[in-house]
Amino acid sequence: MRKFLAKNAPGYIFLTPWLIGFFVLAIGPILISFYLSFTKYDIASPPKFTGLDNFDYMLFWDDRFWQSLKVTFAFVFLSVPGTLIFALAVAMALDKGIRAIGIYRALFYLPSILGGSIAVAILWRQLFSNNGVVNSFLALFGIQGPYWLSDPNYSLYTLVVLAIWQFGSPMLIFLAGLRAIPTELYEAAEIDAAGPVRKFFSITLPLLAPVMFFNLVLQMIEAFKTFNSAFIISDGRGNPLDSLLFFTLYLYNEAFSYFRMGYASALAWVLLLIIAAFTAVAFASSRYWVHYESDRG
Amino acid sequence: MADALPLQNPNATTAEIAQSLRDIRERKKRRANLLRHLFLIICSFVMVYPLLWLLASSLKPDAEIFGNLSLWPTNFDWANYSEGWNALVVSFTQFFWNSTLITVLAVIGNVISASFTAYAFARLEFAGKNFWFALMMMTLMIPYHIVLIPQYILFLKMGWVDTYLPLIVPRFLATDAFFIFLMVQFFRQLPRELDEAAMIDGCSPFKIYWAIILPLSVPAMATAAIFSFIGIWQDFLPPLVYLNDVKDYTVPLALRMFSSQDSVSLYGPMFAMSVLSIIPIFFFFVVFQRLIVQGIAMSGLK
């Protein structure tokens, strides 16, 4: 017994802060959230168990739930491929030893660091205002820009552009991946007279697949969780006409503007399941298109 | 023609032809390089332009801000800064102090608790280690929104709402698995022989952590500290939920007050305060750029 203690005690002592955090602030809350999602709870009075009512209302009666799903999915499907394409294009331009790479890398990465800040969200609102920078620029070419922020057909694009602007961190990961591709492969391809397009599709892309996969999963999770910029740009409510009603924003308002904690918990579970499902699909599909160095046979 | 290209000259020697082929390739490469630089310069200008425009606009009178693409104010007007500093009910001195206090304590909590946890996972043997490690990695995926509501209810019952405790205490409990993962990766690289030699000399695991691992992991701790600083300084949702009194507000919450105000005349001051809010981050980014880039390459996460 003493031996068992002596062997295990130090590990658990060092683990204690994390264990407390894990039970009190992670697993505990997740279980409580699960329970709350089957209740009606406004904090003032104790939670009332209502069975599947929350989910029934959500799926069959709540138009704003579907609207928020639509907005969020549209955002994910526009912003994630956009971000990855830019990240890869710039990473490829930076690869193979270019002068001043440090400066370029820093300039491209800077927006990723500042992108979530309220200052940038405020700035973005002004850039896309009716007589803001974007429309002034379009006017130089005689184009009358739309009312980006007040026209529900265009408002989402402001946030998509903001997301793509932050391509810096996937770019850095691509850059590390490109470095790992042996140059001999390209030299061999050149001897076989392969052009740049052929080289890209036959060497770069297949060998970069694991990195691409990693970036894809990460960017998707990030995109589903977008909150700060959506909050500021849409006045905290998803304006105009719910066209920026991101899922997280809807959840926040249900919980902290209307204190419908039970319903908001149900929404949170839907978010968790969506993220988990997308991650699972990405992992499951990866065996068809990701080939790791070690399992080539 | 005497100076015709060797390739078109039937009398050229093989050496001349080889040389000229090399020249052509060299020229092609130089042109490709030039195009690459051109592409990168245009891209980086587009990337940085919004930030430069923000800086320029913070120095312009309001009349000059809109419909204006220029990055150079006609005359530098610092009034926006003094006006912005005191434009809200509470001055920005208070907001910056609040943000600094929360960020410093939270960063310390993050780094200490993450290094504790990472030491256990990376260097100690105990029953159930792999199980806990797998659970820890799973928490990386959990969105904050799902724990937010129960945490809020818990902190409300404890009387912690409208204090800084919900923003600081969880950081001391290693709630951000990203930093644990970052340090585990780093600790694993340190040579095992160090621990073993110390153990033979009769050092306890605590002594080893304190006297060997900690001093050697300064770069990892610095990376973790910078990442958590950048994240926590810009944190918005937790302070939005937990702080209701304007005098407790952090800088991002104060900035949001500008943007939700209807008064049209405060654009300049709003931009000025936005600039000030990102200066600390910009400073850390410039000074520690190398550590940040390495950190991303090492952990693969933002």
The contacts of residue B74 (CB under 8 Å, 6+ apart) are B60, B64
- Is A239 within 8 Å of chain B by CB? no
Query: Is ipTM > 0.85 here?
Result: yes
Please calculate the CA angle B54-A84-A275 and round it to the nearest 5 degrees: 100
**DSSP for B110-141?**
HHHHHHHHHHHHHH---TTHHHHHHHHHHHTT
* Per-block mean pLDDT, blocks of 10 residues, chain B (302 long): 59 79 82 86 92 91 78 82 89 96 96 95 92 92 91 95 96 93 88 86 89 88 91 95 95 88 72 94 87 67 45
Residue A199: domain span: 55-288
Choose, out of A1, A14, A104, the residue to mutate when testing the contact with B (most B CBs < 10 Å): A14
- Is A169 within 8 Å of chain B by CB? yes
Q: Which of A173, A179, A182 is closest to A214 using CA atoms?
A: A173
pLDDT of B1 reads: 43
The verdict on a CB contact (< 8 Å) between B252 and A14 is: no
A259-282: string of b/e by CB count within 10 Å (b at 16+)?
A: ebbbbbbbbbbbbbebbeebeeeb
Q: Which of A210, A177, A182 is closest to A291 using CA atoms?
A: A210
Contacts of A36 in chain B (CB under 8 A): 149-150
Domain annotation covers residue A266: yes
Please calculate the CA angle B100-A172-B284 and round it to the nearest 5 degrees: 20
Please check the confidence at residue A91 and state whether its pLDDT lies above 80.
yes
- Contacts with A, B 238-267, CB within 8 Å: 240-241, 252, 255-256, 258-260, 267
The verdict on a CB contact (< 8 Å) between A279 and B66 is: no
Each residue's pLDDT tens digit, B181-220: 989 988 888 888 888 888 888 888 889 999 888 888 888 8
- Contacts with B, A 30-89, CB within 8 Å: 30, 32-33, 36, 43
Each residue's pLDDT tens digit, A204-238: 998 898 889 888 988 998 999 999 999 999 988 88
- Contacts with A, B 144-183, CB within 8 Å: 144-154, 156, 170, 172-175, 180
Each residue's pLDDT tens digit, B255-295: 998 876 655 568 888 999 999 999 999 998 888 887 777 76
- Is A161 within 8 Å of chain B by CB? no
**Count of domains for chain A:** 1
- Is A29 within 8 Å of chain B by CB? yes
Neighbours of A191 (CB within 10 A): 8
Domain annotation covers residue A214: yes
Please state which of the four CATH numbers 1.10.3720.10, 1.10.300.10, 3.30.1130.10, 3.80.10.10 is assigned to the domain occupying B89-299: 1.10.3720.10
**What residues does CATH 1.10.3720.10 cover in chain B?**
89-299
CATH of the domain at A188: 1.10.3720.10
Nearest CA in chain B to A233: B259
Contacts of B124 in chain A (CB under 8 A): 10-11, 14
The verdict on a CB contact (< 8 Å) between A25 and B117 is: no
Domain annotation covers residue A163: yes
